[in-house]
A = this chain, B = another copy of it.
Amino acid sequence: MISGKPIGRLSLYRRLLNGLMHEGVQSVYSHDLAARAGVTAAQVRRDIMNIGYSGNPNRGYDVRMLVESISNFLDDPDGQNVALVGVGNLGRAILAFFSGRRPKLSIVAAFDSDPEKFGRVIRGCRCYSIDQAPEVIRELNIKIATLCVPANVAQEIADLCIRAGVKGILNFAPVPLHVSGSVYVEDIDMTMSIEKVAYFARTN
């Protein structure tokens, strides 16, 4: 079993490697990739070893093949559909941010409780009533939801998504969600983050 941290690092390596590939770089050493990713060379080697790819002591890692190995590991070959719930300021910013960023991950539906937004297409994504969520989530085989809703309704919305088949939640609502073990939740708590930065800016 592999935990969250290595998965996050693999995602980062891939992004950095894509940059290198763009520059025409064909192979890379663990210490070079490590410096770019802000981790140790040993960590890079272990992460790469864990996904079953092997380098060459002479040339290091082949950039293109390593990207391919990471993609095989991280991505669903058929792609995965994502829903976004809560089309407020943050929700729209996230729609804009993710739009076309990852080929294998598409935000295919947005949900909101404001009738003004129903039927509109925002950043290429159709907006539905939250009441239609169970139906749309099932129809589009959505297993991933991004929650950009207020804290007081986050748990309720999460439960609704999970009942409709969602297995992974990216939670921007500043409140911890209680879910069963078969559902993965990743929290992005911006209030907590800024308070951490403020604390260390002051005391470091």
**A residues touching B (Cβ–Cβ < 8 Å)?**
4, 7-8, 11-12, 15, 36-38, 74-76, 80, 82, 88-90, 92-94, 96-98, 101-102, 104-105, 143-144, 146, 166-170, 174-176, 178, 182-184, 186, 188-202, 204
Contact = CB atoms under 8 A, between A and B. Distances in A.
B197 A186 contact: yes
Contacts of A144: 194, 197-198, 201
Contact of A89 (B80, B88, B96): B96
Copies in the complex: 2
Given A93-B93, A97-B89, A199 B74 contact: yes
27 contacts: A8-B192, A8-B196, A12-B189, A15-B175, A36-B176, A76-B202, A80-B202, A89-B92, A90-B93, A92-B93, A93-B93, A98-B194, A102-B191, A105-B198, A143-B201, A143-B202, A166-B201, A167-B202, A168-B197, A169-B197, A170-B194, A183-B204, A184-B196, A184-B200, A184-B204, A186-B197, A188-B190
Nearest to A101: B191
A8 B75 CA distance: 31
A176 B37 contact: yes
B90 A198 contact: no
B76 A198 contact: yes
Contact of A94 (B189, B190, B198): B190
A195 B92 CA distance: 19
B167 A74 contact: no
Nearest to A95: B89
A27 B167 CA distance: 36
